[in-house]
Amino acid sequence: MEKPRKKLLAGAMVLASLAALGSYTLLSSPKGTNITLASTTSTENSGLLGYLLPIFKGDSGIGVRVVAVGTGQAMRMAMKGDADVVLVHHRPSEELFVEEGYGVERISVMHNDFIIVGPASDPAGIKGVTDVAAALGRIRSSRAAFVSRGDDSGTHKRELSLWATLGFQPGDDDRDWYRESGSGQGATLNVASEMDAYCLSDRASWVTFGNKRGLELLVEGDPLLLNPYSVILVNPQKYPHIKAPEGQQFIDWLVSERGQQLIAAFRVEGQQLFFPDALDPTEE
Amino acid sequence: MNEFSNAFRTAAHLLVEMDPGLLEVVLLSLRVSLSAVILAAVFALPLGAFVALTPFPGRRGVVILMNAMMSLPPVVVGLVIYLLLSRTGPLGTTGLLFTPTAMIIAQCVLVFPIIAALTRQTVFDLHEEYDEYLRSVGAGTRQKIATLLWDGRARLLTAILAGFGRAIAEVGAVIIVGGNILHSTRVMTTTIALETSKGDLGMALGLGIILVLIAVAVNTAVVTIGGGANQRTV
């Protein structure tokens, strides 16, 4: 009876190797110093962090692990002590975050801008409108399809505050044209491109988005569309396990001349996506 | 249609080039899901067999619960594990959140009821055949469990493969407890979700094709090795 024994042996070997694999996974722990950065999808998906972080690691030896979620979720994550640093873009919540003692200090890093994209056919006729409130007003009055993030992200909060300048709050009567995707920027752009709908996006996510189909950039340039990003160290007095020195080192590096120049030098398809804010603005 | 041809081209490209980024993600996927399944099986097999063989008050309820738990939504499991492992959660001091270990725990919870419930059914059916024999040799519960698990191994392999399928394919739990961190907790499914959200649909679908190929490879390997033991089930 040689055959069954062989099978048995093979089976045992597979089990053993699987078990080894398993125990390896259970035992392996991250090496070196790592900090956790809760950030937004725009900084991650555009490739900015993928470009900056290896350089920072080379400079400092500190690895940065990025959890890319919406601004709202990033801050809630930090409020539970699950991130060392947050890089987000919604000033009122950032200020509240610091005020409530979760963050040490809000530091401006960079900005880009929001834009409105929509179908090339442009049923609401907003192409080239520079007043964002007017453009949104036209979308609303024509009841052209509009996709909202609906996920409590920085972009979602901004969208709601832009509607609020018109005294408008999307409600049950608007279901036929105002849709909430409840997901990230890219997923929302996917929905918009499928539904020929308008949507608000940050420029970085739009430029790096690969499924534009019939969508076009229609509205840009209103000062109300400025999108500033800040970095905040989570308060080590609130959570002693926060890696404050390393986190601070990362923040200092981001706003240093080197960090700021690197941000300014980052290009996607030849386009600058983020504009440094921490250096003296007169220099540029 | 463009997306589909694009996807196959991307998949072929990634495979031929043995893209190192892809390899890292694939290996992590396998490590996490295999570990979770092994861990779950070690406890779920004896438990399933025990429930099948031992009458106790409330057994019906336990069986229903085990079967129902097979439909646990991964997101919910992810959320619960996240809250437990969060720094402010009861197990926060372990610092396991956003690590592969956290992902293994979450998938283990997902897979456990599947293996346990399918094991219970298998052993229960097998016991009807073996009852007389086991009685005649005067086997105790422990011995019965061992015998039936061993003799039902080919069928139980299917239960374990069902668990593996669930683990390797789910995205909801691992994206919450792992955080989809590059070079650290990014697996096949979370990469697919990410590429979809970047609008790179060809890449996303290409990765999906590779995920299916890996599942086919794992199943083939397991069935080839284990299948000879009991032809009836394969």
Residue of chain A minimizing CA distance to B157: A11
Pair (A172, A215) in one structural domain = yes
A210 to B184: CB separation less than 8 angstroms, yes or no: no
pTM of the model as a whole: 0.84
Task: Provide the residue range defining the domain that includes A101.
Answer: 34-112+228-276
**Mind listing the pLDDT tens digit for each residue in B91-110?**
999 989 999 999 999 999 99
pLDDT of B87 higher than 60: yes
**Mind listing the pLDDT tens digit for each residue in A229-270?**
999 999 999 999 999 999 999 999 999 999 999 999 999 989
Pair (A77, A176) in one structural domain = no
Identify all chain A residues contacting B39, using CB atoms and an 8 Å cutoff: 22
Model pLDDT, residue A1: 37
| Residue A264 domain-assigned (yes or no) | yes
Pair (A56, A66) in one structural domain = yes
Model pLDDT, residue B12: 86
Residue B117: CATH number of its domain: 1.10.3720.10
Model pLDDT, residue B233: 43
Residue of chain B minimizing CA distance to A188: B197
**Mind listing the pLDDT tens digit for each residue in A187-206?**
899 999 989 999 999 999 99
Identify all chain A residues contacting B92, using CB atoms and an 8 Å cutoff: 81
ipTM of the complex: 0.78
Rg (CA), chain A: 23
Q: Point out the residues of chain A with pLDDT beneath 50.
A: 1-3, 27-30, 283-284
| Residue A272 domain-assigned (yes or no) | yes
Pair (A133, A194) in one structural domain = yes
Rg (CA), chain B: 20
Pair (A207, A127) in one structural domain = yes
Q: Give the number of domains in chain B.
A: 1
What DSSP string describes chain B?
-HHHHHHHHHHHHHHHHT-HHHHHHHHHHHHHHHHHHHHHHHHHHHHHHHHHH---TTHHHHHHHHHHGGG--HHHHHHHHHHHHSTTSTTGGG--TTSHHHHHHHHHHHHHHHHHHHHHHHHHHHHHHHHHHHHHTT--HHHHHHHHHHHTHHHHHHHHHHHHHHHHH--HHHHHHHTT-TTTT--HHHHHHHHHHTT-HHHHHHHHHHHHHHHHHHHHHHHHHHGGG-GGG-
Query: In the predicted model, what is the mean pLDDT of residues B205-228?
Result: 86
Identify all chain B residues contacting A210, using CB atoms and an 8 Å cutoff: 198-201
Identify all chain A residues contacting B221, using CB atoms and an 8 Å cutoff: 14
Model pLDDT, residue A267: 94
pLDDT of B1 higher than 60: no
Half-sphere exposure of A145 (CA within 13 A, CB side): 17
A22 to B181: CB separation less than 8 angstroms, yes or no: no
Of A30, A80, A189, the CB nearest to B88: A80
Residue A124: CATH number of its domain: 3.40.190.10
With a pLDDT cut of 70, the percent of chain B lying above it is 96
B179 to A65: CB separation less than 8 angstroms, yes or no: yes
A183 to B86: CB separation less than 8 angstroms, yes or no: no
Model pLDDT, residue B51: 96
Pair (A102, A192) in one structural domain = no
